[in-house]
Amino acid sequence: MLVDQARAAVATGRAASVSAYVAEALEERAKLDDLSAFLDEMLAATGGPLTSAEQDAADRALGR
């Protein structure tokens, strides 16, 4: 359970309190959301998602 993980973090000194643990988790989520939006903007600015042919070429180049 997530609450147990937060309590364990407090008990082991990895967080000052359950509230601090939750606040840090929310901050990290906000950073990920911002990064996701930024990546979406970059993708739109460069022509959108890869086509099937582009994905196939990338897979071949990466040895997949």
Q: At 2, is the pLDDT very low, low, confident or very high (cuts 50, 70, 90)? A: very high
Determine what percent of the chain is predicted with pLDDT higher than 90.
100
- Average confidence (pLDDT) over 30-34: 98
Q: State residue 46's pLDDT score.
A: 93
- Average confidence (pLDDT) over 13-30: 98
* CA distance between the termini of the chain: 37
- Alpha-carbon distance 47 to 57, whole Å? 17
Q: At 57, is the pLDDT very low, low, confident or very high (cuts 50, 70, 90)? A: very high
- Alpha-carbon distance 37 to 23, whole Å? 21
Q: Give the three-class secondary structure for 30.
A: helix
Determine what percent of the chain is predicted with pLDDT higher than 70.
100
